[in-house]
Amino acid sequence: MRTVEEHQRVVAALIARRAPVSVPIADALGLVLADDVVAPLSLPGFDNSAMDGYAVDADDVATATPEHPVRLPVAEDIPAGRTDVLTLKSGTAHRIMTGAMLPAGATAVVPVEATNAAIDTVEIRAGARPGQHIRRAGEDVTAGTAVLHAGQVVTPAALGLAAALGLGELTVIPRQRVLVMSTGTELVAPGTPLAPGQIYESNAVMLAAALRDAGADVVASAMTGDDVDSFRDALARHTGDADLIITTGGVSAGAYEVVKDALGGSVEFVKVAMQPGMPQGCGRVDNTPIITLPGNPVSALVSFEVFIRSPLRAAMGLANPDRPRRTAVLTEHITSPRGKRQFRRGVLDDDAGMVTSYGPPASHHLRWLASANCLLEIAEDVDALPAGSQVQVWDLT
């Protein structure tokens, strides 16, 4: 029987990083930069006004007060976006809007609140120091500077910076493309009336959501019965679009184990010393990695957490690919099968540092997993933990 760590290493070795690609910035959110981003221009690109007001020579308004304003003719009106290059003559003012290019010769901007807001002859009612309310070219970014770095996750702010620099694309590590296949003749799609002996398919929905939550793309969520030819046909239709295939069901020791029957020559099926999730498999189909998970819902999702989520995120360059782990104090006595690593659903009170086992340990109790916020990890050599014991916890939030 394979240990959890041994199977983790085998699975991790199958999941490879894709080559970097350039994508439009609108599609880059949440991806990881493959290269540094070097600014092709400075920000701001020109001296501009930080306020709505009047561009002046600071010396012309040095004596201005509310009681003794300085009156200057308004020679130009400069809205943001005006592109002709202007020069301020001494003894005049230019009305200017926030973000507009500063005229040559202007050394300060007087806010409109310190004037009478006139458009012909303006009363300046406060002096201005040189440089006041002026944004200097390059004070935010200097052309040639690396402003974003390889390994950095593309955030909304990073996209805003890229757009401000005129960049239409970013070079990123692409998402892993994953095909999810759920097997079982008893499965029917939600919304279809159930016949006796049938159940609604849930694993593909659940795993597709888990994959997207981990940062991957789901190329398809296929459902097949227990017919080997139908399974192979469905696999063949989608394999070319996927970097990874995940199947659920059909890997146990009974009859009608379609995944085992169809992939016996390509996939190594093993038992892993864990509960839930003992039957596992992995290998390649037409050189595409495939990981076969058990069909019970809790087993499938716990297996995803234990074996797939971390290497999948690492292959996309995401920092901290592992779930946060910590120890907490157990509030109750629990038992565990000696010889197997047990992953129990739990509710963690992070503030108190206490954790409670939540629901039965059997692998079909999905309701309890849906309301749990952690997994309790209990070692193989432990068969009981009394209340008050320290226990390892995986934070699922």
Domain ranges of the chain: 4-18+175-316, 21-43+139-173, 48-135, 325-395
Q: Kindly tell me if the per-residue pLDDT of 300 is higher than 90.
A: yes
Paired tokens of 342: 């047990």
Q: What is the pLDDT of residue 360?
A: 85
Task: Tell me the C-alpha distance between 55 and 74, whole Å.
Answer: 10
pLDDT tens for 7-23 read 999 999 999 999 999 99
Residues 6+ apart with CB under 8 A from 119: 74, 77, 95
Which of these ranges, 37-51, 249-263, 276-290, has the smallest mean pLDDT?
249-263
Give the pLDDT of residue 270.
96
Task: Using DSSP, state whether 74 is helix, strand or coil.
Answer: strand
Q: What is the pLDDT of residues 91-145, one digit of tens each?
A: 999 999 999 999 999 999 999 999 999 999 999 999 999 999 999 999 999 999 9
Contact 11, 315 (CB under 8 A): no
Q: What is the CATH number of domain 4-18+175-316?
A: 3.40.980.10
Question: pLDDT grade, residue 240 (50/70/90)?
Answer: confident
DSSP secondary structure, 82-136, as one string: --S--BPPTT-EEEE-TTPBPPBT--EEEEGGGB---SSEEEE-S---TTTTEEP
Using an 8 Å Cβ cutoff, are 257 and 247 in contact?
no
Does the pLDDT value for residue 255 go beyond 80?
no
Q: How many Cβ atoms sit within 10 Å of the Cβ of residue 379?
A: 13
d(CA 96, CA 128): 15
| Helix (H/G/I), strand (E/B), else coil: 40 | coil
According to CATH, the topology of domain 48-135 is: Molybdopterin biosynthesis moeA protein; domain 3 (2.170.190)
pLDDT (tens digit per residue) in 153-183: 999 999 999 999 999 999 999 999 999 999 9
Q: Looking at residue 250, what is its pLDDT? A: 85
pLDDT at residue 129 in the model: 96
CATH fold of 21-43+139-173 reads Molybdopterin biosynthesis moea protein, domain 2 (3.90.105)
What's the pLDDT score for residue 253?
A: 73
Tokens of 161: 């910076």
* pLDDT, tens digit (0-9, with 9 covering 90-100), for 315-345: 999 989 999 999 999 999 999 999 999 999 9
- Token pair recorded at residue 36: 């540094």
pLDDT at 222: 85
Cβ–Cβ < 8 Å for 216, 316: yes
pLDDT band at 282 (very low <50, low <70, confident <90, very high): very high
- CA pair distance 167, 22, nearest whole angstrom: 11
Task: State the Cα angle at 208 between 206 and 212, rounded to 5°.
Answer: 120
Q: Residue 266: what pLDDT?
A: 85
Looking at per-residue pLDDT, the higher value among 364 and 183 belongs to 183
Asked if the model's pLDDT at residue 239 lies above 90, the reply is no
> Which of 262-266, 304-308, 309-313 is predicted with the least confidence, judged by mean pLDDT?
262-266
Structure tokens at 255: 């009859």
Q: Please tell me the predicted confidence (pLDDT) of residue 28.
A: 97
User: What does the mean pLDDT of the chain come to?
Assistant: 95
What pLDDT score does 371 carry? Answer: 95
Nearest to 239 by CA among 258, 225, 219: 219
Lowest mean pLDDT among 217-221, 224-228, 282-286, 333-337: 224-228
- Least confident interval from 14-23, 138-147, 182-191, 388-397: 182-191
Give the burial class of 373: count Cβ atoms within 10 A of its Cβ; 0-12 exposed, 13-18 middle, 19 or more buried: middle
Say what the pTM is.
0.88
CATH number for the region 325-395 comes to 2.40.340.10
